Amino acid sequence: MKSITIFCGSNFGRGDIYRQAAEALGKVLASRHITMIYGGSNKGLMGIVADAVLASSGTVHGVITQRLVDRGHQHPNLETIEIVSSMRERKARMAEIGDAYIALPGGIGTLEELFEVWGTAQLEGIQKPLGLLNVGGFFDPLIGMIQRMIDEQFLPPAQRDMIVVESNSVALLAAFENYRPITVPKWL
């Protein structure tokens, strides 16, 4: 893996646990010479991961909309920044250039990005690893919902493994190294 697309909150979340996990992820990415691909913002956890990568002499590639640039959300220290016209274009570009995907805690945008990549992988066979950095059990309710989809026969059980779940970044990247794409059809 040469690059990983990061989905995470443009807010900080409550407590230091999310900030610490974001900073740790940034340091790990830089130490492994993995380029961070993300939404190009200086806000919230997005800014923390980017700052940690940059502070550790890593590489960050931002993809941001002109509207967010106009609002002052562009990270000022990125080596590579792409400015696009729409959120749809932003998400497509971030998905295209990443070799894998990691979602940290966040809000609606984070979940939307996560589900768009997962849905595309399910229907179009994208074989890149997708992971949840489950900081402090943040994604436990989502993991429970995925199990409910399986129990109610809306999702094949094997497709649960399309999402790698770990509570720390080192374990998540280690799991990515052993990732095998799931090719079970969506339909039961």
Give the DSSP letter of residue 34: P
pTM of this prediction? 0.95
Q: Does the CA dihedral 29-31-35-36 come out positive or negative?
A: positive
pLDDT-based confidence at residue 185 (cuts at 50, 70, 90): confident
φ and ψ of 27, to 5 deg: -65, -40
Domain assignment of residue 183, yes or no: no
pLDDT at residue 5, as a whole number: 98
Task: Write down the pLDDT at residue 131.
Answer: 97
pLDDT higher at 158 or 28:
28
What CA–CA distances, in Å, run from 91 to 38, 106, 112?
A: 9, 16, 10
Point out the least confidently predicted range of 48-57, 81-90, 128-137, 178-187: 178-187
Please report the pLDDT score of residue 97 as a whole number.
95
Look at residue 170 and tell me if it is in a domain.
Answer: yes
Range of the structural domain that residue 109 is part of: 3-177
In a domain, 37, yes or no: yes
Q: Tell me how many domains the chain contains.
A: 1
Q: What is the strand order of the sheet 60-65 is part of?
A: 80-84, 60-65, 35-38, 3-7, 101-103, 130-133, 163-166
Whole-number pLDDT of residue 43: 97
Q: Is residue 169 part of a domain?
A: yes
Question: Does residue 187 lie within any of the structural domains?
Answer: no
Task: Identify each DSSP E strand in 89-186 by its residue range.
Answer: 101-103, 130-133, 163-166
* Mean pLDDT lowest among 15-19, 101-105, 112-116, 125-129: 125-129
User: Domain for residue 73, yes or no?
Assistant: yes
Residue 124: pLDDT band by 50, 70, 90 thresholds? confident
What would the pLDDT profile of 148-165 be if each residue is shown by its tens digit? 999 999 999 988 989 999
pLDDT band at 187 (very low <50, low <70, confident <90, very high): confident
Q: Give a yes or no: residue 185 inside a domain.
A: no
186 within some domain: no
Q: Give the containing element (helix H, strand E) for 6.
A: strand 3-7
Which residues contact residue 181 at a Cβ distance below 8 angstroms, ignoring those fewer than 6 apart? 125, 127
- Mean pLDDT, the chain, rounded, equals 95
Q: What is the pLDDT of residue 186?
A: 78
Dump pLDDT digits (tens) for 125-134. Answer: 778 999 999 9
Mean pLDDT computed over 163-184: 93
61: helix, coil or strand?
strand
Angle between helices 87-97 and 108-124 (to 10 degrees): 60
The domain that holds 103 is classified in CATH as 3.40.50.450
Instruction: Count the neighbouring beta carbons within 10 Å of the beta carbon of residue 155.
Output: 18
